[in-house]
Amino acid sequence: MSLETLVLAPGTRVRVTQQMPQVEKVWTTSVDGTVVRWRQATTGSWFAHARDDRLWLDRLELRRDDGELVTLNLDRYSVIEPAE
């Protein structure tokens, strides 16, 4: 079983750090929670030449300690690490 499979398995605690590059700086945010589900899902937007004419995104659903459900769109700037 790969590390990626273990980290994204439901019930695993993770920290997801995402970055949004700007012209002169980078915005960074982190979210801690327990994995509920990882999936690839379509957007509501049409995107030419993609599978089924849709843009597919990697989505990770987390449950935070306070019970809040968070859905994250993962991209190349997303870092997923096991949380303690």
* Average pLDDT value for residue range 26-38: 94
**For residues 3-19, average pLDDT:** 82
Q: Per-residue confidence at 1, pLDDT binned at 50, 70, 90?
A: very low
How far is residue 65's CA from residue 75's CA, in Å, rounded to a whole number? 24
> Is it the case that residue 8 has pLDDT exceeding 80?
yes
Domain that holds residue 60: 3-82
Q: What pLDDT was estimated at residue 61? A: 96
Cβ proximity of 62 and 70 under 8 Å: yes
Domain count, the chain: 1
- pLDDT classification of 2: cutoffs 50, 70, 90: very low
Kindly tell me if the per-residue pLDDT of 52 is higher than 70.
no
Average pLDDT rounded to a whole number, residues 72-82: 90
**What pLDDT, on the 0 to 100 scale, is given for residue 57?**
84
* Residue 62 DSSP SS3: strand
